[in-house]
Amino acid sequence: MTKKQKQKLVQFIVAIIIALGAFIYEGYEKLLNNNVDIQIKEQIDNYDNKLQVHFIDVGQGDAILLVSPSKHTMLIDAGDNDDEETIVNYIKNQGIGKLDYVVGTHPHADHIGGLDNVIRQLDIGDFYMPKIVHTTKTFESVINEAIKKDIKIKTAKAGVEILLDEDIRVSMFSPNESKYKELNDYSPIMKVTYKDTSFLFTGDAESEEEEEVINAGYDISANVLKVGHHGSSSSTSQEFLNKVNPSIAVIQVGKDNKYNHPHEETMKKLQDKGIEILRTDINGDIIILSDGKTLYKKVSK
């Protein structure tokens, strides 16, 4: 073997080692993130036997409706005060008169503003909120409506498990018992798992709470992430995003809002990871369906 041939052989072996290393590392990353590669389809043929997740366009604010294959329902937040008709109409248009579960993530008006009207106009099953006081008339009105309808409130906190259907698990990873400086951090970070697919809902949880959930060791990996706090830079830390490792990120945000949501830093983090971004200010109502293996998406704009 000539010197040149030897050199080439060494180069070849080194290249193989590098390629093998990269391959193993990629596999290891995937194993770590525990995410199955999920197929995403544009077409929604029918809603039968699918978990429906509706991100309702309420401008600046959150409102998410879940409908299981057995037609069990959960509403996570109800937008702002002026969105209450939009939400109730949207729910009724789905042929739904009863919400089996309602979650108010935290007492800010852009999340619980429409809840009083929802409680007034629809049948409510279990009602979850973090046990934290707020002084606004908007929050008081929600409590008053619950009193009027004789509905007791369950504490939204880490460890709560709900079965929407037998095979659809809702797990709350936060808040824990601590006192938080920001009302936002009382938002339950919750994962909904249906067979191979999963969704992570975050309310307005900020980096402090994201870190707490990571440190608690929960498996937060999910195919779809509801981006925290309307894409504010105070949420979606790089570590959190890496651990969730979603294929789709949904941002519930109002057009031309005064807070510049979503913030550029958050958008860049999502774009750098090649995550598909859906936004209510651009896409309108966003519906993602899961048959347990494949995700299907539909937007109104």
Tell me the three state secondary structure of residue 154.
Answer: strand
Per CB under 8 A, the list member of 35, 68, 86, 141 interacting with other proteins is 141
Among 38, 88, 183, 299, binds other proteins (CB under 8 A): 183
Using CB under 8 A as the binding rule, the residues of this chain from 49 to 78 that contact other proteins are: none
- The nearer residue to other proteins, 104 or 246, going by C-beta atoms, is 104
CB 223 within 8 A of CB 199: yes
Note whether 258 binds other proteins by CB under 8 A: yes
- Least distance between other proteins and beta carbon 31 (Å): 38
Answer yes or no whether residue 1 interacts with other proteins by CB under 8 A.
no
Q: Residue type for 246, please?
A: P
State yes or no: residue 260 binds other proteins (CB under 8 A). Answer: yes
Work out which of 95, 135, 177, 256 binds other proteins, going by CB under 8 A.
135
* Binding residue for other proteins, selected from 138, 202, 235, 236, defined by CB under 8 A: 138
Stretch touching other proteins by CB under 8 A, among 97-105, 164-172, 257-265, 271-279: 257-265
The encoded tokens of residue 170 equal 């809702």
Task: Quote the Cα angle for 172-178-182, to 5°.
Answer: 85
Using CB under 8 A as the binding rule, the residues of this chain from 92 to 111 that contact other proteins are 108-110
Euclidean distance between CA atoms 204 and 209, whole angstroms: 10
| C-beta of 63 vs 74, nearer to other proteins | 63
Residues touching other proteins: how many (CB under 8 A)?
Answer: 22
Q: What's the closest the beta carbon of residue 138 comes to other proteins, in angstroms?
A: 6
The single residue among 35, 232, 237, 266 that binds other proteins, judged by CB under 8 A, is 232
Q: How far is the CB of 63 from other proteins (least distance, A)?
A: 16
CA dist., res. 74 & res. 77, Å (int): 10
Other CB atoms within a 10 A radius of the CB of residue 265 amount to 13
Q: Does 265 bind other proteins (CB under 8 A)?
A: no
- The answer to whether 250 and 223 have CB atoms below 8 angstroms apart is no
Separation CA 286–CA 279 (nearest Å): 8
Tell me the DSSP string of 174-237.
---SS--SSGGGGSPPEEEEETTEEEEE-TT--HHHHHHHHHTT-----SEEE-GGGG-TTS--
Beginning with the edge strand found earlier in the chain, give each strand of the sheet holding 248-251 in spatial order. 161-165, 168-172, 190-194, 197-201, 224-226, 248-251, 276-279
Residues 137, 150, 215, 256: which binds other proteins (CB under 8 A)?
Answer: 137
Q: Give the binding site for other proteins (CB under 8 A).
A: 80-82, 108-110, 113, 133-138, 141, 182-184, 232, 258-261
